[in-house]
C-alpha cells in the first residue's frame, strides 16, 4: 500500500475526482489514502484481533 501512496499525485486526483474534491490535503485521493495508511498503522492490533475473531467464527459456521 505504501507504494500506491507514493505513486499517487494531484493530477490523478483531478482526473478521478474532478471538481468535486474538497480543498486541502484531506480532499484529495492522496490525502485519503495517506489517512487510511496512518489509521491502519495506529490500529494494527485491533485489526489483527478482529480478523482472528472473524476467522474463528467463520471456521465454525457451516
Q: How does pLDDT run across 23-40, given as a tens digit for each residue?
A: 555 578 888 889 999 999
Q: Cα dist. 53→5, 42, 61 in Å?
A: 29, 19, 13
Confirm if 8 and 33 have CB atoms less than 8 A apart: yes
Provide the domain limits for residue 11. Answer: 2-60
The percentage of residues in the chain with a pLDDT greater than 90, rounded to a whole number, is 40
Say whether pTM exceeds 0.85: no
The secondary structure of the chain in percent helix, strand, coil, rounded to multiples of 5, reads 80, 0, 20
Provide the residue-wise pLDDT of the chain in tens; the chain has 62 residues.
444 444 445 555 555 555 555 555 557 888 888 999 999 999 999 999 999 999 999 998 77
Amino acid at each position: 500500500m505504501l507504494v500506491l501512496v507514493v505513486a499517487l499525485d494531484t493530477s490523478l486526483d483531478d482526473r478521478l475526482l474532478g471538481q468535486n474534491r474538497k480543498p486541502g490535503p484531506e480532499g484529495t485521493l492522496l490525502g485519503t489514502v495517506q489517512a487510511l495508511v496512518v489509521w491502519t498503522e495506529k490500529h494494527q492490533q485491533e485489526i489483527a484481533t478482529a480478523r482472528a475473531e472473524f476467522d474463528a467464527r467463520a471456521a465454525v459456521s457451516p
